[in-house]
């Protein structure tokens, strides 16, 4: 009913933001939710009580937001993503509520260690890397820009594995993030949708004599909703992240019990629960894995059924579904939404094809995140048909109509028809998910300017020839709330003090107000002190975890991201080995002392990536224990790079390594996080590096390597890594040193797969870019020797990062793609 929410009582224990109320609420939650009093509470009790105290303060805003969104006809963004890599919640919710200081004081009044409570939080690692973290940044920015939005995904019981390093190798450990409970989510036991699998599709005649199609699935599982509130910064809007968990329907179990098949019932239950059990830890699609396809369909179907339920409750009809919702497909993982929305509209809600298609095409939008051909998702037709027979029929019909259109557009061009088809007929027949997403979407976008251009000229060229107006670029961004305010509070305070306002937190372009101070020696000194302090903190942390604490006075040179050959961690390693050799040959060499820090997980089945981790650690072992070189060089691997550990790393970096082969990294977002925290970039002209360099100024960026066009040209004319190996003496020395067994206790076999691959194949042209990389690294060495110059460059990197706030990205999507408007929520009744 339409009773207005109760106005906030100034001193109400569950809503007030005053120090006293926070204290009362905290003790109350500790007592009544955890059954503890302060003296005996564990760190986890304290954390949970703090989390509930903060969550209570989100709830009233959340209810106000949902009510306003429901009552207005505002268009809602539905962000469909198989991954949301949220990271710790407590600090960010406090920042967005504006209560960090009072909360800290309230905690101190009770004699609690605030930092320790924050440390206790287990992060929900429901994503692999950039794509999942981007979804989380976008949720923060959607709420902050006051755009009504729902994030839809999967509540994996096990997120991305925890990485431990044993004897230099990566070992994966299961991520049990739910072990102690998750205070941020609210289970909605009544919000359940059935999701079918298998069976067959059949024709029938309805009660009006109309011949229709319907799906008779063999198996039905339920999706149950878990809701997490997403608070905007400095506003009262709270959006919703709704994640689905799979379970067996009740009837299932009873049915089996009745015929006495107890084990059969248990098996069915386990099978249903398996769907949301674990996140696939690969950074390329798992080709042909049935469970992965089940996961995709599962969350897409629940989400669409939920949207339909809401629209029917509100409007009573689905005719304006596309006015109500802007659906964003985060890569191809949710692209089954195209076929499922068609099925729901036609089979379940009796709409005609043309109307259903018009609605689908007006609702959906597709973001591509990769150009790597091996990462473009396809599903064997046989598997697709077995799991989703009705959807395959729909895909075929979409394809038939689409290819007719293609034939009209491009007369007598059957080669093009074959290239555009939703079905890849070469080899085993496969459904091309990017084609399904493209055909069913109103807009298609890449994630950085170069990537969006390459998309149009390479993997999506035929689509661009057909529908050029559908192609867009939206350069990625990251949230400054997490990646400056939460990770680097000292830097945030200095910026606010110098600008005399904290406006930059909501409008990152305001950082430019700092620019006139870049030459100011007093500011530079404080800037450097903050950096050194962050380095010291990181060093202590690394010391505790790895047994070695690097010297904060050395240059911290950091490469942290998933381990992948295209990202070229091994290029970095070749340079380190080369430096090592130089010092050995000339012990009096004049070098800037550096600490090289790596971080990142390898897909468990990716042999070469795991070997690269081993090599990093092997090189570290030799260098760090050699007194002749370790005054100049140190090499460290930070274990378990995740959101939380990333937040320790970004503030502490002097140099950020963004060295992928040009044309391979769609955007990169770590590059933005480092630069915002005052690190200079050593980078190629790839992804968003290009735009970062244009923004921060070419003189404040260390550029090296071939352009994407040069890479393409070299590929066409035939790339011979062997020639580089032969002609570049320095390079050969570095590779030979690895082959010699120096870093593997004399074992000349261990790293052979890596060195041989480089010399004979080198698919990511490490050898071709080595010389230029080495040269630019020499310049870094010189530049760091001039602190004023370096600090100035560092300050300018931060002040010119306005463009890379995810608020800007969301505004771009809102205006150019979704056509949605902000809907401010106010607490005044
Ligand atoms: C990343 N993709 C891109 N995929 O590599 C990176 O350049 C970009 O900045 C980022 O997306 C955001 O746009 C990425 O992270 C995955 O992790 C997928 C997980 C599921 C399997 C396929 C890869």
- Most ligand 1 atoms within 8 A of CB, residue of 333, 369, 452, 667 to mutate: 369
pLDDT over 50 at 6, yes or no:
no
Same domain, 117 and 80: no
Same domain, 366 and 500: no
pLDDT over 90 at 544, yes or no:
yes
pLDDT over 70 at 717, yes or no:
yes
Same domain, 366 and 493: no
Ligand 1, atom 6, residue with closest C-alpha: 668
What is the CB < 6 Å shell around ligand 1? 128-131, 134, 282-285, 369-370, 375, 447, 476, 665-669, 687
Same domain, 44 and 77: no
57 part of the active site: no
Where residue 7 falls among pLDDT bands split at 50, 70, 90?
Answer: very low
Q: Which of 61, 324, 561, 601 is catalytic?
A: 561
Same domain, 104 and 144: no
User: Average pLDDT for residues 704-723, to the nearest whole number?
Assistant: 98
* pLDDT in the model for residue 5: 40
CATH number at residue 459: 3.40.50.2000
| pLDDT digits 0-9 by tens, 376-428 | 999 999 999 999 999 999 999 999 999 999 999 999 999 999 999 999 999 89
Q: Is residue 775 part of a domain?
A: yes
Average pLDDT value over all residues in the chain: 96
Domain count, the chain: 3
442 part of the active site: no
pLDDT over 90 at 829, yes or no:
no
Where residue 3 falls among pLDDT bands split at 50, 70, 90?
Answer: very low
Q: Which of 14, 24, 369, 800 is catalytic?
A: 369
* pLDDT in the model for residue 227: 98
Same domain, 442 and 509: no
Same domain, 178 and 249: yes
669 part of the active site: yes
Atom of ligand 1 nearest to the CA of 666: 7
Same domain, 464 and 598: no
Distance 541 CA to ligand 1 centre (A): 28
Q: Is residue 824 part of a domain?
A: no
C-alpha torsion angle, residues 763, 769, 770, 776 (rounded to 10): -150
Atom of ligand 1 nearest to the CA of 375: 22
684 part of the active site: no
User: Average pLDDT for residues 128-149, to the nearest whole number?
Assistant: 98
* pLDDT in the model for residue 264: 78
Distance 130 CA to ligand 1 centre (A): 5
| pLDDT digits 0-9 by tens, 493-534 | 999 999 999 999 999 999 999 999 999 999 999 999 999 999
Q: Which of 15, 145, 669, 755 is catalytic?
A: 669
Distance 699 CA to ligand 1 centre (A): 29
- Residue 45: partners with Cβ closer than 8 Å, 6 or more residues away: 30, 34, 36
Q: Which residue(s) pair with 196 in the sheet?
A: 220
* pLDDT in the model for residue 251: 62
Distance 134 CA to ligand 1 centre (A): 9
pLDDT over 60 at 698, yes or no:
yes
Atom of ligand 1 nearest to the CA of 687: 7
567 part of the active site: yes
pLDDT over 70 at 823, yes or no:
yes
| pLDDT digits 0-9 by tens, 211-266 | 999 999 999 999 999 999 999 999 999 999 999 999 999 765 555 556 677 777 78
Q: Is residue 64 part of a domain?
A: yes
Atom of ligand 1 nearest to the CA of 668: 9
- Residue 469: partners with Cβ closer than 8 Å, 6 or more residues away: none
Q: Is residue 827 part of a domain?
A: no
| pLDDT digits 0-9 by tens, 593-627 | 999 999 999 999 999 999 999 999 999 999 999 99
Same domain, 270 and 307: yes
Where residue 287 falls among pLDDT bands split at 50, 70, 90?
Answer: confident
Query: How far is Cα 740 from Cα 747, in angstroms, rounded to an integer?
Result: 8
pLDDT over 50 at 804, yes or no:
yes
* pLDDT in the model for residue 426: 93
Q: Which of 61, 324, 343, 673 is catalytic?
A: 673
Query: How far is Cα 190 from Cα 467, in angstroms, rounded to an integer?
Result: 43
Same domain, 376 and 520: no
Whether the Cβ atoms of residue 706 and residue 715 lie closer than 8 Å to each other: no
CA-nearest of 319, 311, 412 to 362 is 319
Q: Is residue 292 part of a domain?
A: yes
Atom of ligand 1 nearest to the CA of 134: 12
**158 secondary structure, DSSP code:** B
Percent above pLDDT 70 for the chain? 97
Same domain, 141 and 210: yes
Instruction: Supply the pTM of this predicted model.
Output: 0.97
Q: Is residue 823 part of a domain?
A: no
Whether the Cβ atoms of residue 672 and residue 806 lie closer than 8 Å to each other: no
Q: Which of 562, 575, 614, 776 is catalytic?
A: 562
* pLDDT in the model for residue 32: 97
* pLDDT in the model for residue 205: 97
pLDDT over 80 at 10, yes or no:
no
532 part of the active site: no
User: Average pLDDT for residues 318-330, to the nearest whole number?
Assistant: 98
* pLDDT in the model for residue 255: 56
Q: Give me the domain span that covers residue 155.
A: 73-88+123-475+812-818
| pLDDT digits 0-9 by tens, 176-220 | 999 999 999 999 999 999 999 999 999 999 999 999 999 999 999
- Most ligand 1 atoms within 8 A of CB, residue of 370, 449, 565 to mutate: 370
Q: Which of 14, 435, 567, 792 is catalytic?
A: 567
Same domain, 649 and 765: yes
The H or E element containing residue 154 is strand 149-154
């Amino acid at each position: 009913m339409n009773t207005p929410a109760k106005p906030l009582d100034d001193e109400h224990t569950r809503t007030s933001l005053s120090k006293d109320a926070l204290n009362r609420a905290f003790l109350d939650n500790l007592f009544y939710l955890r059954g503890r009093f302060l003296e005996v509470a564990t760190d986890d009790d304290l954390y949970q009580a703090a989390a509930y105290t903060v969550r209570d303060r989100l709830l009233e805003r959340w209810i106000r937001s949902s009510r306003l969104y429901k009552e207005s006809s505002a268009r809602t963004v539905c962000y469909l993503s198989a991954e949301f890599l949220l990271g710790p919640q407590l600090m960010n919710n406090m920042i967005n509520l504006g209560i960090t200081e009072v909360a800290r004081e309230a905690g101190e009044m009770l004699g609690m260690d605030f930092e320790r409570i924050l440390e206790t939080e287990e992060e929900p690692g429901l994503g692999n890397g950039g794509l999942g973290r981007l979804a989380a940044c976008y949720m923060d920015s959607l709420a902050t820009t006051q755009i009504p939005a729902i994030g839809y995904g999967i509540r994996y019981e096990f997120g991305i594995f925890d990485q431990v390093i044993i004897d230099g190798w990566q070992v994966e450990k299961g991520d049990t993030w739910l072990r102690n409970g998750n205070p941020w989510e609210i289970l909605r036991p009544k919000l359940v949708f059935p999701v079918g699998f298998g069976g067959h599709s059949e024709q029938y005649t309805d009660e009006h004599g109309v011949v229709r199609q319907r799906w008779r699935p063999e198996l039905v599982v339920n999706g149950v909703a878990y809701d997490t509130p997403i608070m905007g910064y400095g506003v009262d809007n709270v959006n919703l992240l709704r994640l689905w968990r799979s379970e067996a329907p009740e009837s299932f179990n009873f049915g089996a019990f009745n015929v006495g098949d107890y084990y059969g019932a248990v098996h069915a239950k386990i099978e249903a629960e398996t769907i949301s059990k674990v996140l696939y830890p690969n950074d390329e699609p798992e080709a042909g894995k049935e469970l992965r396809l089940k996961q995709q369909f599962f969350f897409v179907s629940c989400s669409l059924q939920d949207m339909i339920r809401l629209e029917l409750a509100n409007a009573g009809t689905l005719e304006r579904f596309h006015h109500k919702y802007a659906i964003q497909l985060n890569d191809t993982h949710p692209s089954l939404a195209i076929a499922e929305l068609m099925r729901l509209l036609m089979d379940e809600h009796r709409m005609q094809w043309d109307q259903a298609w018009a609605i689908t095409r007006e609702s959906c939008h597709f973001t591509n995140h990769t150009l790597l051909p091996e990462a473009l998702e396809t599903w064997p037709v046989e598997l697709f048909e077995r799991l989703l027979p009705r959807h395959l029929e729909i895909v075929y019909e979409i394809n038939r109509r689409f290819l007719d259109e293609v034939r009209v557009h491009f007369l007598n061009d059957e080669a093009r028809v074959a290239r555009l088809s939703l079905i890849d007929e070469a080899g085993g027949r496969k459904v091309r998910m990017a084609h399904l997403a493209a055909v069913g979407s109103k807009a298609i976008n890449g994630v950085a300017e170069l990537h969006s251009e390459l998309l149009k000229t390479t993997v999506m060229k035929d689509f661009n020839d057909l529908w050029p107006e559908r192609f867009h670029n939206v350069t990625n961004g990251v949230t400054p709330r997490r990646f400056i305010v939460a990770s680097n509070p000292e830097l945030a305070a200095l910026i606010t003090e110098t600008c005399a306002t904290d406006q930059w937190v909501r409008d990152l372009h305001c950082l430019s107000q700092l620019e006139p101070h870049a030459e100011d020696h007093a500011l530079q000194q404080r800037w450097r002190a903050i950096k050194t302090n962050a380095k010291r903190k990181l060093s202590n942390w690394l010391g505790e975890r790895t047994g070695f604490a690097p010297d904060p006075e050395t240059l911290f040179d950091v490469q942290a991201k998933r381990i992948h050959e295209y990202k070229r961690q091994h290029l970095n390693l070749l340079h380190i080995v080369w430096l090592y050799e130089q010092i050995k040959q000339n012990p009096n060499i004049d070098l800037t002392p550096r600490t090289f820090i790596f971080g990142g997980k390898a897909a468990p089945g990716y042999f070469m990536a795991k070997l690269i981790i081993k090599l990093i650690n092997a090189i570290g072992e030799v260098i760090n224990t050699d007194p002749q070189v370790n005054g100049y060089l140190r090499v460290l691997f930070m274990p378990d790079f995740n959101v939380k550990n990333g937040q320790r790393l970004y503030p502490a970096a002097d140099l950020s390594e963004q060295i992928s082969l040009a044309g391979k990294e769609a955007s990169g977002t770590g590059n933005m996080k480092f630069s915002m925290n005052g690190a200079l970039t050593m980078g190629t002209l790839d992804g968003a590096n290009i735009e970062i360099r244009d923004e921060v100024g070419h003189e404040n960026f260390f550029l090296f390597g071939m352009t994407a066009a040069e890479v393409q040209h070299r590929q066409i004319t035939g790339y011979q890594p062997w020639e580089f190996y032969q002609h570049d003496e320095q390079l050969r020395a570095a590779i030979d040193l690895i082959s010699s067994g120096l870093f593997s206790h004399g074992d000349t076999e261990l790293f052979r797969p890596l060195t041989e691959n480089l010399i004979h194949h080198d698919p990511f042209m490490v050898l071709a870019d080595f010389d230029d990389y080495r040269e630019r690294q020499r310049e870094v060495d010189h530049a760091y020797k001039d602190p004023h110059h370096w600090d100035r460059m560092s300050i300018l990197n931060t002040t010119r990062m306005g463009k890379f706030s995810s608020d800007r990205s969301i505004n771009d999507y809102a205006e150019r793609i979704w056509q949605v408007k902000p809907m401010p929520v106010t607490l005044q009744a």
